[in-house]
Amino acid sequence: MKWIFLLLAGLLEIAWAIGLKYSDGFSRLLPSAVTVICMIASFYFLSLALKELPLGTAYAVWTGIGTLGTVILGIAFFGEPCTALRLLCIFYITAGIAGLKLTTH
């Protein structure tokens, strides 16, 4: 369950990061409320994962999932650049997450 909690925390991190974009500096009520709820839920699931996972591993994987998701969605929905270098960086982040998962019991 610890990895499922961490995955949920990471997915919710993506949701709140995208929500920040739509909240327009917390000036729009509904996107702002959804963002705050996703933040709280993300931290909650991260805290559950931290009961059994090392801090460094859990934090790196959590932020890695959030980073990957926001970069990919930024490319897909916000017209952010999709260069070979950015894709290479995404690959390395993915490899790092996989490596941490494989080396943590």
pLDDT tens across 3-35, in order? 999 999 999 999 999 999 999 999 999 999 999
Query: Residue 68 corresponds to which amino acid?
Result: L
Instruction: Note the pTM of the prediction, 2 decimals.
Output: 0.91
Structure tokens of 30? 């509904």
Residues whose CB is less than 8 angstroms from the CB of residue 15 and which lie 6 or more positions away in sequence, other chains included: 34, 35, 38, 42
Q: Which residues, other chains included, contact 101 with Cβ-Cβ below 8 Å and sequence gap of 6+?
A: 3, 61
Residues 58-85 have pLDDT tens digits of 999 999 999 999 999 999 999 999 999 9
pLDDT higher than threshold 90 for residue 105 = no
CB 31 within 8 A of CB 22: yes
Q: How far apart are CA 104 and CA 61, in angstroms?
A: 11
